[in-house]
Amino acid sequence: MSELDVAALGLRAVNERLQSVGPESNERVFLLRNPMGQHALACGLDAEIEVTIDGHAGYYCGGMNSRAAITVRGHCGVGVAENMMSGCVRVTGNASQSAGASGQGGLLVIAGDASARCGISMKGIDIVVGGSVGHMSAFMAQAGRLVVCGDAGDNLGDSIYEARLYVRGKVASLGADCVEKPMRPEHLAELDALLRTAGVGADAADFRRYGSARQLYHFHIDHAGEY
């Protein structure tokens, strides 16, 4: 394991070191000490490496991740795993707003709660939240899956496309064009596999599924005055 002291080396040097790991490198496991809530930690990684951040991280931690497995031992600020392509980001604490925003692939696991707009404009990422999520989560979610083991705030799935939402607790309100849908056997199997991959010990049968009613897909001339 290679240990990097963020306080001593500086954010730029640490990120450059992680981003420079090539296929011939013997360095595959990194531990980042003293992160001090720095923004953009472990961003833009593009190698099959393991990175553990020993403490809290600021904005956009793990953003644009590709292939790397990143673990944050603490809380995260806005936009953790933003625009992630593949790999995995795990947060042992809570996450602020816009967790997994625009994520196109990979898995984001938040052990605690996530704030507002979790999964906004998600495009294929899987997000599993052990606690609850705030208002406007999965806003304009296009593809992927959002799993909430706790409760969901107001306007869940507003203007949703084809993402699948699974919530175990209460939903304060659903957003425009988001409706509850039946949990068929294939959804139970899908959710069970996702929970096991995320390492969450929850029963898929306790969840409800939500998705698009597909009423906003087309322009209606009778409603032209409302546009």
pLDDT tens digits in sequence order for the chain, 227 residues long:
999 999 999 999 999 999 999 888 889 999 999 999 999 999 999 999 999 999 999 999 999 999 999 999 999 999 999 999 999 999 999 999 999 999 999 999 999 999 999 999 999 999 999 999 999 999 999 999 999 999 999 999 999 999 999 999 999 999 999 999 999 999 999 999 999 999 999 999 999 999 999 988 776 767 666 55
The rounded distance, in Å, linking the Cα atoms of 68 and 176 is 35
CATH code at 2-226: 2.160.20.60
pLDDT at 2: 96
pLDDT at 217: 74
What residue segments make up the domains of the chain, in order of their start?
A: 2-226
**Token pair in block for residue 35:** 């992160």
Query: Helix or strand or coil: residue 70?
Result: strand
Sign of the CA dihedral with 176 first, then 182, 183, and 185 last: negative
Q: Are 124 and 106 in contact (CB under 8 A)?
A: no
